[in-house]
């Protein structure tokens, strides 16, 4: 799909436009592509951010209730996304957020003290009231991660391609590190329409994947990361870890 041609020819009243990560349709111009995308350029609580100098706090634990699901995976053209069947959720401060899908960015979108990671996974949740909560996992090169093996060789290589493979069963909980301390802040979606009031929970312990696993993803998709955005006075918290 030629996004440049599509954007050039659409009416200014057209809401659905082709955004991406190239110069003509990337993060620097998202806010100009559609009135719906204006938060991308005028929002003041945007994501991702640089995770630096957080305030330690005693934070409520995240209660996980993830069930296994069959593989429903799609190359959207801007990421590779796994849709999740109903029935899985997290609970934070008494509110349940249902897991909708998870997807990947390469390199990472969030940075830690200015440092990028090889990749990042986002697990997107929605409450009954429609509020969003995203768990982010930073991914670095290291040991092979067997939890990804069941579906990693099914990554769709063509934009728009989707695969439903009922015999492949996975549980998103297995993809996360055993230690689940988090950075927490209020932000936005990192893709258009860049809607704000998204609760972010970025795991402080990175996920390891092998160089070959990371290379397999980057061979299909790379550079689908939005640059970090200003904190603009927002509170950035991190789980206080007790000594011993």
pTM reported for the whole predicted model? 0.92
pLDDT at 243: 45
Contact 7, 25 (CB under 8 A): yes
pLDDT at 225: 98
> What is the rounded distance in angstroms from the CA atom of residue 9 to the CA atom of residue 42?
24
Mean pLDDT of the chain: 93
Cβ neighbours of 170 (radius 10 Å): 21
pLDDT at 7: 37
Contact 59, 203 (CB under 8 A): no
Q: What is the pLDDT of residues 124-145, one digit of tens each?
A: 999 999 999 999 999 999 999 9
Strand partners of residue 97: 90
Strand partners of residue 188: 196
Element housing 6 (H / E): helix 3-9
Confidence band, pLDDT 50/70/90 cuts, at residue 5: very low
**Average pLDDT, stretch 230-239?**
97
Cβ neighbours of 89 (radius 10 Å): 19
Go through the domains of the chain in sequence order and give each one's CATH number: 1-42 (no CATH), 44-239 (3.10.200.10)
Residue 39, SS3 per DSSP: helix
């Amino acid at each position: 799909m030629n996004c440049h041609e599509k954007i050039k020819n659409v009416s200014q009243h057209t809401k659905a436009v082709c955004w991406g990560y190239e110069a003509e349709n990337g993060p620097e111009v998202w806010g100009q592509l559609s009135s719906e995308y204006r938060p991308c350029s005028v929002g003041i609580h945007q994501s991702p951010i640089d995770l630096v100098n957080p305030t330690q706090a005693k934070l409520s634990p995240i209660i996980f209730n993830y069930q296994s699901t069959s593989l429903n995976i799609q190359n959207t053209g801007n990421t590779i996304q796994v849709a999740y069947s109903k029935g899985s959720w997290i609970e934070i401060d008494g509110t349940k957020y249902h897991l909708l899908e998870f997807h990947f960015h390469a390199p990472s979108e969030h940075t830690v003290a200015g440092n990028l990671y090889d990749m990042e996974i986002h697990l997107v949740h929605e409450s009954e009231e429609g509020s969003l909560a995203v768990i982010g996992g930073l991914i670095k090169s290291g040991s092979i991660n067997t939890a990804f093996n069941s579906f990693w060789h099914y990554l769709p290589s063509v934009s728009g391609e989707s695969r439903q493979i009922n015999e492949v069963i996975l549980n998103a909980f297995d993809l996360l590190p055993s230690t689940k301390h988090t950075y927490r802040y209020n932000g936005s979606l990192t893709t258009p329409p860049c809607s704000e009031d998204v609760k972010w929970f970025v795991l402080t312990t990175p996920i390891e994947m092998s160089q070959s696993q990371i290379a397999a993803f980057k061979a299909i998709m790379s550079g689908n990361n939005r640059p970090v955005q200003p904190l603009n006075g927002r509170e950035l918290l991190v789980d206080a870890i007790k000594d011993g």
